[in-house]
Chain A
Amino acid sequence: MKKTLTALIALGLSATVALADYPEKPVEVIVGYSAGGGTDIMARTVAQFLEQELGDGASVVVKNMPGAGGQIGFTEVATAAPDGYTLGTFNLPAALALTHDREADYDVNSYTYLANFVEDPNTITVAASSPFQTLGELLEAAQADPGAITVGLSSLGGNDHFSANMMQAASGAEFTLVPFKGASNARTAIMGGHVAAGTMTLGQTTSFPDELRVLAVLADERSPFRPDVPTAKELGFDVQMSSLRGIVAPAGMDPALADQLRAALSAVNENPEFQAMMAEQGNPIAFMLGEDFAATAAKQDGVAANIWEETPWK
């Protein structure tokens, strides 16, 4: 007994000693998108505060590896050494959705889930000038003439697309899905009346209060940003979908190191200055640590796999 205890203490000590050295060299955060995008800005904001938390003149460097819808960056993280010197931003459901519709060198189990920072729920949104005042009216029209309601998405195989699909399944309505190149193009098409509705995230709607009407939020609870908008669940359709952005590391990381990073990221999240910066950038924070984050990733992966199986989009 005494021996084991000593051994445990020794192990604990050696672990602390090893971790006390971390980080010995710059920590890279891989971003699968170009500099200046939403994910990149989040990564740089987190990096800036993470440097302070890791202390000792630690340096956290953001490295952009754009291409193939983020896949090049996600792959880079998944295949890196889990030594704490390569971290990456992780976008859900996009990162895992693309493992279903094309060949990818990683899957949901290729990562150590550290912390999620942002969660932006999807919505059902129409133009302010639209004749549809409620979700019910919109769905009625879509049921009456299947396919007559066009729904603008930011792309196929993303959270916008899954939202529309899940809404169809829950209501029995049938939409015509129109995948634009990016969320802002979809939003402009809605505002210009070129498509009837959209499933953009709530964050995408906030700058256009007079131009857009949000009919429902696809979340468990009403958003604190728009407490006036009902959830789809309240209206009788149990649909939840959102876009998440967090930080992951390669799978197989030393649990002590993972915990040290999680603690540092928690401290980042608790920093009021960080919270203020994220709010200014329009990022709704939904902080999730380790297990919770991993569970959400697995759930989103399941949704994507299901939809891919039932209605493959390519």
Chain B
Amino acid sequence: MYADLLNALPNVFAWTNFAAVIIGVIAGIVVGAMPGLSATMAISVLVPFTFGLEPLVALGLMAGIYNGAMYGGAIPAVLLRIPGTPAAVATTFDGYPMAQKGEGGFALQVAVVSSALGGIASAFALMLLAPPLSRVTLLFGPSEVFWVAVFGLASIIFLLGGNPIKGLISACFGVFVSVIGSDPIYGNDRFTFGQLEMLDGINIVILLVGLYALPPVIDLLETPLKTDGVNSSKLGTESIWKALPRMKGFGMTWLRGSFIGIWIGILPGAGGSMAAFMSYNEARRTSKTPETWGEGEPEGVAAAEVANNADTASALIPALTLGIPGTAVAAVMLGGLLVHGLQPGPMLFRDNPDIVFGFMWQFLFGAILLVLLGGSLATNSFARLLNLPRPLLGSVIIVLMLIGVYSIHGRMFDVYLMLGFGAIGWVMDRLKFPLPPVVLGLILGGFAEENLRLALRIGRGDPMVLFQNTTSLILVALTIAVIVGPTLKKRFVDGRKKA
């Protein structure tokens, strides 16, 4: 198998194949940086055009776009507090405060280096461990996946912010949104008001754009017309080689974030945003100075960005070996493979090793190229764009949002839906309700419901089915540890102080 890996390498360096990766990364960064445009969309638009292309050219473009977009999402997240992609929500926590302090340039450099490292780690996991890791995926049936969702919800309690009641209300709103649409088992309509467009539920991108992009844009429009860009004039960009030494303390965070990202990637359904949230939380929990987090801690940006790129290639492990995509992007990529007659499954590795392993190499090179392309070229040019007068910038972003949301399914209904969520988001923002719990509630709520109901069906209604195997029990133990751990630790520390 490793011989196949090496044999696939020369072909990757054919200039067309390599150029495809470069173009893909650049396109991905641009797409990721625009609120509303996501990697999923870019790749699904691309798939039909890849009919006539050589497989590795098509796949190289996709690998590049995927890697680029996961970093591109960080650019507006840092500079404007608008996550360009769902996975970049956690990047806003510390990235935006850094930009406000005039460290936006450094934040973007941390993001690009972390993204590249996460992507590289993930590509190695895909190249070296795909078959054994796919066996891990098989261990996760509905009851295990249900516990993963519960664990995810429990481990991000910190997202509730300073006011837990408001945080819980936000989370409940997210879970409520996850309920909209036809129910996952019987297909009964819930809260659709007879609208066919709502039967499939609320697309995460629509919610995200409305909730996250509209309130800051309204802020931008409210700002009196001044010609100096507030953030970007103080971007503080310096050479990436000068910035690197300042990141030398991030080793553990990068390692942990990569591990979390890879692990979340191989589980079906959760995706980059959950990986970024969990990595951020773990890094903050183990930090010596947790109080600086959320105030512009560069390590927070590193934690979020390393994890959301570390799930890219690993999400393809179950996709390539089992045909189940770990993320929406992986699902579209499967379509891209299908166009070229590449059916996922173990046979793929036997019948088309040059293409599968070539694709994996392209992932690796895509991640490495991020440092070069994202670091200098894209970061600088995007920062210039943000030099525009703020109301003008706001109008440009609104147009991008509308186009992005419209193009998901090609219908105006989604645009109105987005504007509705935008109004809700603006009110929540003004009333200081935290927004991240909404996103997580939507992602994990639906995930938990579907798998709980499947598990109970398998167990013929007996809830004991949820505790019947080792994997489930380990996850239950982890969940309990996450919930009571901090309290116990605090007691222990206090007790020692008294003694």
Are A and B physically bound partners? Answer: yes
Question: Which A residues contact B (CB, under 8 angstroms)?
Answer: 34-38, 40-41, 44-45, 48, 62-69, 71-72, 75, 101-102, 147, 150, 155-157, 176-181, 184-185, 187-189, 191-195, 206-211, 277, 280-282, 313-314
* 5 tightest A-B CB contacts, nearest first: A36-B335, A207-B345, A194-B141, A280-B341, A192-B138
Q: List 10 A-B contacts (CB under 8 A).
A: A35-B44, A35-B335, A36-B336, A67-B409, A68-B196, A75-B196, A179-B454, A188-B137, A188-B323, A195-B458
Question: Which B residues contact A (CB, under 8 angstroms)?
Answer: 43-45, 47-48, 51, 137-142, 182, 184-189, 196-197, 199-200, 268, 318, 322-324, 331-332, 334-336, 338-341, 343-348, 409-410, 450, 454, 457-458, 460
Report if A67-B142 is in contact (Cβ < 8 Å); known contacts: A179-B185, A188-B324: no
Nearest Cβ on chain A to B131's Cβ, whole angstroms: 12
Which residues of the other chain, B, contact A72 by a CB distance below 8 angstroms?
A: 196-197
Which residues of the other chain, B, contact A209 by a CB distance below 8 angstroms?
A: 347
Q: Are A150 and B458 in contact (CB under 8 A)?
A: yes
Q: Are A208 and B346 in contact (CB under 8 A)?
A: yes
Which residues of the other chain, B, contact A207 by a CB distance below 8 angstroms?
A: 323, 343-348
Nearest Cβ on chain B to A131's Cβ, whole angstroms: 18
Nearest Cβ on chain B to A200's Cβ, whole angstroms: 11
Which residues of the other chain, A, contact B346 by a CB distance below 8 angstroms?
A: 207-208, 210-211
Q: Taking CB as reference atom, which chain B residue is nearest A44?
A: B48
Q: Are B332 and A36 in contact (CB under 8 A)?
A: yes
Q: Taking CB as reference atom, which chain B residue is nearest A45?
A: B51
- Bound-state CA distance A72–B200 (Å) is 11
Which residues of the other chain, A, contact B182 by a CB distance below 8 angstroms?
A: 68-69
Which residues of the other chain, A, contact B44 by a CB distance below 8 angstroms?
A: 34-36
Q: Are B187 and A155 in contact (CB under 8 A)?
A: yes
Nearest Cβ on chain B to A60's Cβ, whole angstroms: 12
Q: How many A-B residue pairs have CB under 8 A?
A: 141
Q: Are B345 and A192 in contact (CB under 8 A)?
A: no
Which residues of the other chain, A, contact B188 by a CB distance below 8 angstroms?
A: 314
Report if A71-B348 is in contact (Cβ < 8 Å); known contacts: A188-B138, A192-B139, A314-B187: no
Which residues of the other chain, B, contact A194 by a CB distance below 8 angstroms?
A: 141-142, 458
Q: Taking CB as reference atom, which chain A residue is nearest B135?
A: A192
Which residues of the other chain, A, contact B345 by a CB distance below 8 angstroms?
A: 206-208
- Bound-state CA distance A222–B457 (Å) is 33
Which residues of the other chain, A, contact B343 by a CB distance below 8 angstroms?
A: 206-207, 282
Q: Are A191 and B138 in contact (CB under 8 A)?
A: yes
Q: Are A189 and B460 in contact (CB under 8 A)?
A: no
- Bound-state CA distance A313–B44 (Å) is 33
Q: Are A67 and B197 in contact (CB under 8 A)?
A: yes
Which residues of the other chain, A, contact B341 by a CB distance below 8 angstroms?
A: 277, 280-282
With contacts A35-B332, A36-B335, A68-B197 known, what are 18 further pairs, Cβ within 8 A?
Answer: A34-B332, A35-B44, A37-B335, A40-B48, A69-B200, A71-B196, A102-B187, A177-B457, A184-B323, A187-B322, A187-B323, A188-B318, A189-B141, A206-B345, A206-B347, A280-B340, A280-B341, A314-B187
Report if A157-B410 is in contact (Cβ < 8 Å); known contacts: A188-B138, A208-B345: no
Which residues of the other chain, B, contact A185 by a CB distance below 8 angstroms?
A: 268, 324
- Bound-state CA distance A240–B340 (Å) is 31
Which residues of the other chain, B, contact A179 by a CB distance below 8 angstroms?
A: 185, 454
Report if A178-B138 is in contact (Cβ < 8 Å); known contacts: A185-B324, A282-B341: no
Q: Are A314 and B186 in contact (CB under 8 A)?
A: yes
- Bound-state CA distance A178–B184 (Å) is 11
- Bound-state CA distance A63–B407 (Å) is 12
- Bound-state CA distance A71–B197 (Å) is 10
Which residues of the other chain, B, contact A208 by a CB distance below 8 angstroms?
A: 345-347
Which residues of the other chain, B, contact A189 by a CB distance below 8 angstroms?
A: 141-142
